């Protein structure tokens, strides 16, 4: 890894001893950080205006690579719409569940979070804003089902795939559900949760439903 000054050459003036200016001196970002992708070996680079930012990025890259936590900065630039479509197509859903997930993404997730927004730019505050926005039009049970069955699993997969470093679905306050009213989860809702949670937990959704699980509705 290296931090390069793009405004000056490594060569020095033979008389003054000062470094010679490059052709791009005074134009564009001055500092470049270079490293190699640990998985592919391909060269990577990012430009910065301040040396302090370049040094910090260089140190972070070195630390992430040494810990095996490296995330290609370019990966998170994929749009929410594009990643959601890829994630949806990879799920082993039944026909009815696949149709429901497609509808949820198209109507309630992608347009609200912003179809062109880079996946890595989503923060917990954006997800919390999404919850507040959807509660205004959907029941509390539906919002919680969409969150736990589609939104959170999608971002969890992005972390596993090393598209983003951490999931924004952390510390999210979901809508309160009144204890006095209960609804019976539909078969599609049970399948949606079962099909999107880790495989080792899928049976839990069906067992709970079979045992008479009732979801409170607010």
pTM of the model: 0.65
Sequence-ordered list of residues with C-beta below 8 angstroms from that of 23, at least 6 positions apart, any chain: none
CB neighbours of 218 closer than 8 A, spacing ≥ 6?
139, 140, 141, 175, 176, 177, 178, 181
How many angstroms separate the CA atoms of 2 and 58, rounded?
7
Helix (H, G, I), strand (E, B) or coil at 43: strand
Task: Per residue of the chain (218 residues), give pLDDT as tens.
Answer: 689 999 999 888 888 888 899 999 999 999 999 988 887 788 889 899 999 999 998 998 888 888 887 788 788 899 999 999 999 999 888 888 899 999 999 999 999 999 999 999 999 999 999 999 999 999 999 999 999 999 999 999 999 888 998 999 999 999 987 665 556 777 888 788 788 777 777 787 777 777 755 554 44
Alpha-carbon distances of 12 from 9, 21, 29, 33, 142, rounded to whole Å:
8, 9, 22, 22, 67
């Amino acid at each position: 890894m290296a931090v390069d000054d793009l405004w000056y050459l490594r060569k020095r003036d033979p008389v003054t001893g000062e470094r010679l200016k490059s052709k791009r001196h005074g134009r564009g970002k001055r500092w470049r950080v270079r490293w190699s992708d640990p998985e592919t070996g391909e060269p990577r680079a990012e430009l910065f205006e301040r040396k302090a930012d370049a040094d910090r990025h260089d140190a972070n890259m070195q630390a992430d690579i040494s810990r095996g936590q490296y995330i290609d900065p370019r990966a998170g630039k994929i749009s929410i719409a594009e990643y959601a479509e890829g994630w949806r197509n990879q799920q082993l859903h039944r026909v009815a569940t696949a149709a429901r997930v497609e509808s949820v993404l198209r109507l309630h997730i992608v347009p609200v979070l912003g179809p062109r927004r880079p996946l890595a730019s989503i923060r917990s505050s954006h997800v919390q804003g999404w919850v507040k926005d959807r509660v205004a039009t959907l029941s509390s049970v539906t919002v919680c089902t969409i969150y736990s069955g589609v939104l959170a699993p999608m971002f969890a997969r992005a972390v596993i795939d090393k598209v983003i470093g951490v999931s924004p679905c952390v510390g999210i306050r979901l809508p309160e559900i009144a204890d006095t009213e209960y609804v019976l989860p539909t078969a599609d809702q049970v399948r949606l949760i079962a099909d999107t949670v880790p495989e080792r937990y899928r049976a839990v959704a069906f067992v709970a439903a079979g045992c008479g699980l009732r979801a409170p509705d607010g």
